[in-house]
C-alpha cells in the first residue's frame, strides 16, 4: 500500500502549485475586460474551439514534426562530431574557439537568414532548429568522451579492440549520460526556435498561429498558442526524462547522477 501511495504523493507535490496558480488565474481574471489580458475562461473556450475545428492539431503536428527532425539531425551531427573531436585532443584544440564562437551567436537572429536563403516550407524551420540545438549536444558529447576513464581506454587498447567496436561499446556508453544531458538542454532551445522560425514567412505551425492571432488582434489566440507551447515544452521535457531514466537505468541506479 505504501509503495502505491508514494508515487501519488510525489505527483501531488509536483503539480499542486501549478493547479493553485491556474485556479488563482481563473478567478483573478474572471472580470477582466482588457483586450490584452483576456480572462482564462476565454482562453479555454478559444482552445476548445480551435481544437474542434482542427486549427491547433494541424499547427501542432507541423511544428512538432519540424522539432523532431531538427533534433534528429542535431543529435546525429552533434554526437558524431563530438566523438570525433573528443577522441582527438589536437583537433579539439583547433576547433574549440570556432565552436564557442558559433554557439555564442544568437540563433534566433539567424532564423530570418535561413528562411530567406532556403524559402518557405518545413526545410528552413528544420535547419534552424538543428543549427540551434546542435551546440549543447556537441559540447556535452565532447566532454563525455574526454571524461572516459583513461584506465578503460588502456584496457581497450591492450586487448586490441577495433576502433569501431571501441567507440560503440566503450566510448559511447560511457559518454551517454553527458550526451543525454546535452539533449535535455537542447530540447527547450528547439521548442523556442521552432516557434521563432514560424514567425517568418510561414503559413502553418504554432508560431504562425500565435503571430496570426496578434496581427489580426485576436489576442485570445495569441495567449492560447503561447500557453500551449509552454505546456508542450513541459510535457516533452517530462517524456525525455522518463526515456532518459529508462535507457540510463544503470547510471541512475549507480548513484552517479
Model pLDDT, residue 6: 64
Q: Are 213 and 221 in contact (CB under 8 A)?
A: yes
Model pLDDT, residue 255: 63
* pLDDT, tens digit (0-9, with 9 covering 90-100), for 148-205: 877 777 777 777 777 777 777 788 888 899 999 999 999 999 999 999 988 887 788 9
Query: Could you give the residue ranges of the DSSP H alpha helices within 88-149?
Result: 89-104, 107-118, 122-146
Q: What is the CATH number of domain 37-253?
A: 1.10.3720.10
DSSP class per residue in 40-61: HHHHHHHHHHHHHTTHHHHHHH
pLDDT tens for the chain, 257 residues: list them.
555 566 667 777 777 888 899 899 889 888 888 888 899 999 999 999 999 999 999 999 999 999 999 999 999 999 999 999 988 888 988 998 998 888 888 877 788 888 777 777 788 899 999 999 999 999 999 999 988 877 777 777 777 777 777 777 788 888 899 999 999 999 999 999 999 988 887 788 999 999 998 888 889 999 999 999 999 999 999 999 989 888 888 777 776 54
Cβ neighbours of 119 (radius 10 Å): 10
Q: Are 194 and 70 in contact (CB under 8 A)?
A: yes
Q: What CA–CA distance (Å, rounded) separates 124 from 186?
A: 18
Q: What CA–CA distance (Å, rounded) separates 122 from 207?
A: 13
Model pLDDT, residue 167: 78
- Gyration radius from the chain CA atoms: 22
Q: Which three cell numbers stand for residue 234?
A: 513541459
Model pLDDT, residue 150: 78
Model pLDDT, residue 251: 77
- The model's pTM: 0.87
Q: What CA–CA distance (Å, rounded) separates 209 from 47?
A: 12
Per-domain boundaries in the chain: 1-30, 37-253
Q: What CA–CA distance (Å, rounded) separates 163 from 83?
A: 12
Model pLDDT, residue 199: 86
Model pLDDT, residue 121: 79
Amino acid at each position: 500500500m505504501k509503495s502505491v501511495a508514494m508515487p501519488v504523493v510525489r505527483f501531488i507535490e509536483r503539480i499542486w502549485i501549478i493547479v493553485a496558480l491556474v485556479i488563482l488565474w481563473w478567478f483573478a481574471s474572471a472580470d477582466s475586460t482588457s483586450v490584452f489580458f483576456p480572462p482564462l475562461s476565454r482562453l479555454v473556450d478559444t482552445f476548445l474551439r480551435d481544437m474542434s475545428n482542427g486549427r491547433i492539431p494541424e499547427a501542432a503536428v507541423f511544428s512538432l514534426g519540424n522539432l523532431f527532425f531538427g533534433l534528429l539531425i542535431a543529435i546525429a551531427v552533434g554526437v558524431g562530431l563530438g566523438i570525433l573531436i573528443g577522441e582527438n585532443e589536437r583537433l579539439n584544440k583547433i576547433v574549440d574557439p570556432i565552436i564557442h564562437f558559433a554557439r555564442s551567436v544568437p540563433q534566433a537572429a539567424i532564423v530570418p537568414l535561413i528562411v530567406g536563403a532556403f524559402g518557405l516550407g518545413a526545410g528552413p524551420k528544420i535547419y534552424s532548429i538543428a543549427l540551434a540545438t546542435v551546440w549543447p549536444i556537441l559540447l556535452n558529447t565532447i566532454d563525455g568522451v574526454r571524461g572516459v576513464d583513461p584506465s578503460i581506454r588502456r584496457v581497450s587498447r591492450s586487448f586490441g579492440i577495433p576502433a569501431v567496436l571501441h567507440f560503440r561499446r566503450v566510448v559511447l556508453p560511457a559518454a551517454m549520460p553527458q550526451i543525454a544531458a546535452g539533449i535535455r538542454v537542447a530540447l527547450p532551445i528547439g521548442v523556442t526556435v521552432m516557434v521563432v522560425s514560424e514567425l517568418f514567412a510561414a503559413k502553418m505551425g504554432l508560431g504562425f498561429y500565435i503571430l496570426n492571432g496578434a496581427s489580426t488582434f485576436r489576442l485570445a489566440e495569441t495567449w492560447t498558442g503561447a500557453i500551449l507551447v509552454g505546456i508542450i515544452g513541459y510535457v516533452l521535457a517530462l517524456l525525455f526524462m522518463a526515456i532518459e531514466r529508462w535507457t540510463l537505468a544503470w547510471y541512475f541506479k549507480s548513484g552517479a547522477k
